[in-house]
Amino acid sequence: MTTITKQSLGALPCGADVALYTLKNAQGAYVEIATLGATIVSIHVPDKEGRLGDVTLGYRDMAGMSTAKGYMGKVVGRYANRIGGASFTLNGRTYQLAKNNGENTLHGGINGFDKKIYQAQVEGESLVLTAESPDGEENFPGAMRWQVTYSFSDANALRIQYRAECDQDTPVNLTNHVYFNLSGPGCPSACEHRMQIEADYITEVGSSACIPTGRLFPVEGTPLDLRAPRLVGEGLSQQETCEQMRFGNGYDHNFVVRGWDGTLRRIATLWDDASGRRMETWTDQPGVQFYSGNGIAGDLPGKLGVPYQRRQGLCLETQHFPDSVHHDNFPSCILKKGETFESCTEYRFFVE
């Protein structure tokens, strides 16, 4: 049984209060969630010795949580990942978005969902966070209301459920940008983790801007082949042999889930031999962005008082494909007026 408690983290300069909720299961493992950005602040699960430890990067103070780069632990949207050219056309109208990633839009623009203060409600053993985006915010069409529901089981599975509605047709892509290091935020690198992803293809990108070409790129014979467990650092050491890896400056690619049919399934597994922890990622989404933390900036002190380093954490962002608004052959990202967007992702933790 999960118990949920609340405490205050303080107020933002605008005066809005930020709350921290702790979801603790019957085993004593727990997850902390902040109402700013619906942020996963920490996930504390046992290692092979039975010791609880945090397996995420991020920030506990208001300065880091509100100003640090990298979206650590936050829900991103209205459209997670990139939209090429910072514009799209829908129902005969062209929408010009903010250019916050070169010539492109990343994670919803300048004021994306990572900056929202969510309204929180405890429903049984779940935490439900709700927010709204008015019509025209970041120049996206339609007034959108969405909720993110977190639950944490006695089996150490963190479930994230998304639900959204809009009064106009609009592109939607919601994910959480949590960074994992299964040895904890004090471990300087995640390159000794082993990764497996159930994908035969990535969405090919055409340059270092990482905008999809619309074609699928086979991973076989490249460092992107993660169909069998592979050391992250070993794949990164072969970066120069693969143009797609050079474009991403390492792993920063959307992997196409094999056999996707909209049902919840295991799509990735991450191992850390040092701690004995294993994490499985389950989702009903068609893609997952594996990001090897190539751009971690280390701009502010992290949880342990020191800045984070490049490749200290890894992301597995379950999602629709990047730039789907420009590729009819990709699964549609358009939420129709009167319809409901729903998706589910689980991060399940084990010891070996």
- Residues labelled catalytic: 177, 317
- The residue behind tokens 């050391």 is 231
Look at residue 40 and give its three-state secondary structure.
strand
Instruction: Confirm if 319 and 287 have CB atoms less than 8 A apart.
Output: yes
CA distance 249 to 208: 8
Query: 194: how many CB neighbours lie within 10 A of its CB?
Result: 18
| Residue 235 CB partners (closer than 8 Å, separation 6+) | 195, 223, 224, 226, 245, 251
d(CA 35, CA 98): 25
Q: Which of 309, 311, 308 is nearest to 249 (CA)?
A: 311
Structure tokens at 255: 């992997």
Q: What is the DSSP string of 139-202?
A: G-SS-EEEEEEEEE-TTSEEEEEEEEEESS-EE-B-EE---B-TT-TTSS--TTSEEEE--SEE
Both tokens assigned to 9? 């983290």
| H or E element that contains 243 | helix 243-248
Would you call 81 helix, strand, or coil by DSSP? coil
- Three-state DSSP at 65 gives helix
- How far apart, in whole angstroms, are the C-alpha atoms of residue 61 and residue 47? 26
- DSSP-assigned letters across all residues of 193-228: SEEEE--SEEEEESSTT--EEEEEEE-TTSTT--SS
Q: How many CB atoms lie within 10 A of CB 246?
A: 12
